[in-house]
Chains A and B, each alone.
Chain A
């Protein structure tokens, strides 16, 4: 199931519920135009959504419903209760289809009939607001009669041998359907080819094409007005037929053929079971049952045979409308079964369906009788079905007559539509238990759950403290070990909970990516540039907050690329590049971070221009101008108030852009890096944490106080001997890994007038941190462990305090202040 379909199902459920509510509200205030308008809008939306998929049944009824509501909204048809009933029924049907789609991923064609019928009944309501005919009238009796007229014509054309084979097949349970297809007059204009459709029907036994009306003289014929009628007799499964004609069910009648119709000759127009012409077939069947009953009684499968005979007779009785005899038949079957003798049934036959003398039979049917299912042939056929079908032989012998009742149902045939189509219909909302598999939850609840889990993560951190205390203070090392073991368990569960809540909050980056095609198209058109946008990794997921916070920075970056990066086509051609620029936005996941690369193949950033501009704007001094590397220079675009664009346009160039991008990304714990090569293009990489609920910090000690430092800014921790520290221009430096690292004392940064403490070997603890691509060594007193904490931003009066990222509770209950070196240094 595609994400689009999933979304549709979830939305459609809401819409369905909304429609139901509106309909019920209309019951109390039927005249409200607002409600009507709202209802129309809901149905309209649902229909539009269903049109995206291959659900013709759903779209059809919704379309009819929409049309109907449109007329009601315009006041052409009055709202009535029967209208509401019909609409509710329609929505139940749509709900049923939704269930099926949700379960199987598609909707089956088996509903086409009902869908067409519903659509028709909705259309009827549109014509006159009065009462409509009941649902059960489909297919109407008139229609059935018309069909059987042409059916008997078809049957009379079938060779007798073929008809007998079909008869046996149908008796054995194979499907046989009569299909009549009357295409719409203007179907040719809709690109339909009815003949082609008919040729697709598998296992066609008989086919016929006729003209609905007499063909006009050639001169008056409109070649493109279809007046053909197609008929076919097919042994294909009804489901296949419904599937074939699922787009035009209203033009097709599909009828199951009962075996009885096949057994009788059909040279008159009245081939429906129960009419006089069936007498022969009926008698033939009765006769063969009689012969079956006259077989020796000592057979092992006598009970099965008796049931089969009774079932056949019951079907005959039902088909001929002599239902009053059913009870007595049942009684004699019960008797026969208890006595294990065929006699009771034989007696019943003689009593109620006496055998006609041979002569009378002939005189009654003076017409030529086609090869009838003579007793021997039929008996053979029945015997084969008896032996092959487990229903009769494999069953244990029924002990009581009650058990035999279901056997009657088996061979029963119906001239109405296929039973499996009907079973589920007429369903009402109250007997559907559609289980919604998606929950819509207020974000606040998720946030609360997340902060609770976060607190638990912190609380579990107190267990190691407890273990240490048990050991150190009370000398209970056994207890300490047990606490640690428990801690491991709690830790595992807490981590899984954390993972689960993260999964809930995860969102694909496509949420922000999806707006780019439009943005790029509009912007590039405005600028007269040609741009090929390439998106990749849209399904990469990250926390909802991160994704949402990312939207604005990304738009800034994309606009910058379009405006400053990519050149107009002429300039590109002159530079030997393809006229259309390439802008790629690519998301990927790398361990616990999401990387988003925005790259263009434009003119890149010229470091010299940046340097000059920065100097002119007073961002760097002369000395810096000389010193600065090209890479450092291009990163000056992130400095506040920087703009290279000569003209301020409505797109960019106001100097508020990249610095905002950087601060926004850093606020959510991300890092922005920029690489640019003059003439080749620019690449900006955003590296973001997957989530920001729990952060990992390193605890350090200075002046006997503990502080936290976010792990993502820590590069390494080293011990540097005092002798290795030099002072250059009154600033402390040390050489680490062949690089000069400036050293700063944390006490100085925090304005504590205390020297940093060294350890017994005279070494100072130096934490190397990355601040805006620079490495800086911060001298602290000591390092401690790293912990997972829930970082709470400082609020209120403390909110304005610079230098701190926030605070967190530690496992032992103390408050940990987390430093933000970017602000501190």
Chain B
């Protein structure tokens, strides 16, 4: 499982493919305050990113991969500022 859903945290692991976006969206709809732990994520399909952007999800841990983290921050961190 590329995303492990815990109580209030979704833990991303390895490559998260496009298939996960639907489930992720459902989970975020139920857990509006859900936190996302991306540290173990090595890649994330753009569909998932879009869901995260729309949900204005809280990222508790950014990916260890610096390049990926930088890109994700450009999309998600800005929103944190806006909030």
Task: Give the complex CA separation of A215 and B52 in angstroms.
Answer: 11
Taking A209-B75, A226-B46 as contacts, is the C-beta distance between A218 and B18 under 8 angstroms?
no
Instruction: Decide if A228 touches B50 in the complex (CB within 8 Å).
Output: yes
For chain B, give the interface size range. Answer: 20 to 34
B18-42 CB contacts (< 8 Å) to partner A:
18, 21-22, 24-25, 28-29, 32
> For residue B32, which residues in chain A have a CB less than 8 angstroms away from its CB?
218
Judge if B44 is at the interface, Cβ distance under 8 Å.
Answer: yes
Task: Give the complex CA separation of A183 and B50 in angstroms.
Answer: 12
Instruction: Decide if B43 touches A211 in the complex (CB within 8 Å).
Output: no
> For residue A221, which residues in chain B have a CB less than 8 angstroms away from its CB?
25, 50-51, 54
Taking A188-B18, A215-B54, A218-B55 as contacts, is the C-beta distance between A193 and B70 under 8 angstroms?
no
Judge if B47 is at the interface, Cβ distance under 8 Å.
Answer: yes
Judge if B53 is at the interface, Cβ distance under 8 Å.
Answer: yes
Judge if B67 is at the interface, Cβ distance under 8 Å.
Answer: yes
Judge if A208 is at the interface, Cβ distance under 8 Å.
Answer: yes
B37-76 CB contacts (< 8 Å) to partner A:
43-47, 49-51, 53-55, 67-68, 70-72, 74-75
Task: Give the complex CA separation of A228 and B75 in angstroms.
Answer: 10
Judge if A576 is at the interface, Cβ distance under 8 Å.
Answer: no
Instruction: Please give me the residue from chain B that is nearest to A191 by CB atom.
Output: B18
Task: Give the complex CA separation of A631 and B50 in angstroms.
Answer: 78
Main secondary structure of the interface of B (DSSP, over half): helix
Instruction: Decide if A207 touches B21 in the complex (CB within 8 Å).
Output: no
What is the total number of residues of chain A having a CB less than 8 Å from a CB of chain B? 24
Main secondary structure of the interface of A (DSSP, over half): mixed
Instruction: Decide if A218 touches B29 in the complex (CB within 8 Å).
Output: yes
Instruction: Decide if A196 touches B49 in the complex (CB within 8 Å).
Output: no
> For residue B46, which residues in chain A have a CB less than 8 angstroms away from its CB?
183, 188, 193-196, 226, 228
The number of inter-chain residue pairs (CB within 8 angstroms) is 74
Instruction: Decide if B75 touches A199 in the complex (CB within 8 Å).
Output: no
A178-216 CB contacts (< 8 Å) to partner B:
183, 188, 193-196, 198-199, 204, 207-211, 215-216
Judge if A385 is at the interface, Cβ distance under 8 Å.
Answer: no
Taking A196-B46, A199-B67, A228-B50 as contacts, is the C-beta distance between A209 and B74 under 8 angstroms?
yes
Min distance, Cβ A257 to any Cβ of chain B, angstroms: 18
Min distance, Cβ A151 to any Cβ of chain B, angstroms: 15
Task: Give the complex CA separation of A705 and B30 in angstroms.
Answer: 109
Task: Give the complex CA separation of A746 and B39 in angstroms.
Answer: 97
Instruction: Decide if B47 touches A226 in the complex (CB within 8 Å).
Output: yes
Judge if A797 is at the interface, Cβ distance under 8 Å.
Answer: no
Instruction: Please give me the residue from chain B that is nearest to A228 by CB atom.
Output: B50
Min distance, Cβ B5 to any Cβ of chain A, angstroms: 16
Instruction: Decide if B68 touches A199 in the complex (CB within 8 Å).
Output: yes
Instruction: Decide if A195 touches B45 in the complex (CB within 8 Å).
Output: yes
> For residue B28, which residues in chain A have a CB less than 8 angstroms away from its CB?
218
Interface of A with B (CB < 8 Å)?
183, 188, 193-196, 198-199, 204, 207-211, 215-216, 218-219, 221, 223-224, 226-228
